[in-house]
């Protein structure tokens, strides 16, 4: 999307001020880096068959927090990012607002600095390189495989609230009129998760603990005609994964 188009969308959305080299990481329980992500995900899925939906969500949130960082800038704009390959953080480009002055914090309170190595305002993606990160890396899922009604789990750093907060929602199918109004190019995953300012750039997981997208905006106009109270836009990881990996590979 061109920047002029993005600006028009920003007029009707509250853009939350919130954030992948080779795939590695953890899901619901710590796993060794030597275990292939696909194997780890399969083991997690098998274990989840014996859990309730609430227990699965709680497990994904716990592991997801280990894969998340909160981002802070001097002007008070909170943001969120997710850890990729233990040395990169991915966030929304609008979180940083062309600044290189920011700090990051993991769920254990460790602070990190980093260098922005890639910015794409059109896709609203930024890649930060950070050294000696202790968090776990995300496992990329397949956002193209989502179905209407699938549960999505978001983690963020709300401007008014506790860092590493979370919310859940369902994948939505919008009617033609609303889709034309807010997302005519069908660039986003739509969900009824209640993301707020500070969630932008934060990871969105499926019920297997796999990353399927990044929170980017919330629709704030009247939704009384619909069966949902919140409408959030999520950047599908399948849309931007290749450019993220290219940006990280170029830095090696």
Under a CB-based contact definition with an 8 Å cutoff, are residues 18 and 94 in contact? no
Which of 136, 165, 200, 232 is an active site residue? 200
Specify whether 62 is catalytic.
no
User: How far is residue 89's CA from residue 218's CA, in Å, rounded to a whole number?
Assistant: 22
Specify whether 124 is catalytic.
yes
Give the DSSP letter string of the chain: --HHHHHHHHHHEE------------SSS---TTS-HHHHHHHHHHHHTTS-HHHHHHHHHHHHHHTEEEEE-TT---EEEEEETTTEEEE-HHHHTT----EEEETTS-EE--EEEEEETTTTEEEEE-SS--SPPP-B--GGG--TT-EEEEEE--SSS-TTEEEEEEB----HHHHHHH-TT--SEEE-----TT-TT-EEE-TTS-EEEEEEEEE-S--TTSS-S-EEEEEEHHHHHHHHHHHHHHT-
Which of 124, 190, 192, 214 is an active site residue? 124
Which of 24, 94, 123, 165 is an active site residue? 94
Bridge partners, 115 (sequence order): 129
Specify whether 94 is catalytic.
yes
Integer angstrom CA distances of residue 36 from 24, 40, 168, 169: 8, 6, 27, 29
Catalytic residues, which ones? 94, 124, 200
């Amino acid at each position: 999307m061109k920047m002029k188009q993005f600006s028009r969308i920003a007029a009707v959305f509250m853009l939350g001020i919130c954030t992948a080299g080779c795939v590695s990481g953890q899901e619901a329980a710590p796993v060794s880096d030597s275990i292939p992500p696909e194997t780890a995900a399969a083991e997690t899925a098998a274990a989840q068959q014996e859990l309730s939906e609430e227990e699965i969500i709680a497990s994904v949130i716990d592991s997801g927090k280990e894969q998340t960082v909160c981002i802070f800038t001097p002007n008070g704009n909170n943001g969120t990012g997710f850890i990729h390959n233990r040395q990169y953080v991915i966030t929304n480009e609008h979180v940083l607002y062309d600044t290189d002055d920011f700090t990051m914090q993991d769920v254990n309170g460790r602070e990190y600095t980093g260098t922005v190595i890639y910015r794409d305002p059109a896709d609203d993606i930024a890649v930060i390189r950070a050294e000696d990160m202790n968090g776990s890396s995300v496992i990329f899922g397949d956002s193209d495989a989502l179905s209407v009604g699938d549960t999505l789990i978001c983690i963020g750093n709300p401007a008014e609230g506790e860092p590493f907060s979370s919310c859940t929602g369902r994948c939505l199918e919008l009617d033609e009129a609303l889709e034309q109004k807010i997302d005519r190019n069908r660039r986003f995953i739509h969900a009824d998760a209640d993301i707020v300012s500070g969630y932008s750039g934060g990871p969105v997981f499926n019920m297997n603990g796999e990353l399927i997208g990044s929170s980017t905006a919330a629709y704030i106009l009247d939704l009384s005609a619909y069966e949902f109270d919140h409408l959030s836009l999520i950047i599908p990881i399948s849309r931007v994964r290749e450019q993220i990996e290219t940006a990280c590979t170029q830095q090696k």
